[in-house]
């Protein structure tokens, strides 16, 4: 599900004398285009000027028009997979606090040689 992308410039101040008000909120709508290579949802204004074969609309900021492909993520070990996908109490606790856990352990495996 895509939500409308809005830029709230009501909080911006160009100078102390010029305050942008909340009435200046504007929307560019939802991304209505889809990259034919990677499936990313895109806004029409993000397209490249040139078109592909069969007049296909091309995008570069997602996958460089199909030039960049990422490998699929490896299957996690069983315990981690259960924590990521499970719905028991322990898994739900893990899913709720995964950002904190990630932050705590982010520097434990830097693979640096001292």
Binding site for Zn ion (CB under 5 A): 35, 37-38, 40, 62-63
> Nearest distance from residue 52's CB to Zn ion, in Å?
12
Position of tokens 């990521």? 84
Angle of the 78-85 helix axis to the 89-96 helix axis, nearest 10 = 80
Secondary structure letter of residue 44 according to DSSP: G
**What tokens appear for 84 in the block?**
């990521």
Rank residues 57 and 62 by Cβ distance to Zn ion and give the closer one: 62
Rank residues 9 and 40 by Cβ distance to Zn ion and give the closer one: 40
> Nearest distance from residue 59's CB to Zn ion, in Å?
5
> Nearest distance from residue 53's CB to Zn ion, in Å?
15
Backbone phi, psi, residue 6, to 5°: -125, 140
> For residue 64, is it left (φ>0), alpha (ψ between -120 and 50) or beta?
left
Rank residues 69 and 95 by Cβ distance to Zn ion and give the closer one: 69
> Nearest distance from residue 92's CB to Zn ion, in Å?
34
């Amino acid at each position: 599900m895509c939500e409308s992308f809005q830029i709230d410039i009501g909080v911006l101040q160009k100078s102390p004398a010029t305050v942008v008000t909340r009435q200046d909120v504007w929307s560019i709508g939802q991304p209505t285009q889809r990259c034919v290579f990677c499936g990313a949802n895109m806004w029409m204004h993000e397209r490249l000027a040139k078109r592909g074969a069969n007049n296909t609309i091309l995008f570069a900021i997602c996958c460089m028009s199909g030039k960049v492909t990422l490998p699929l993520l490896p299957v996690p070990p069983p315990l981690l997979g259960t924590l990521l996908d499970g719905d028991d109490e322990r898994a739900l606790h893990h899913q709720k606090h995964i950002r904190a856990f990630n932050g705590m352990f982010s520097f434990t495996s830097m693979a640096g040689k001292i």
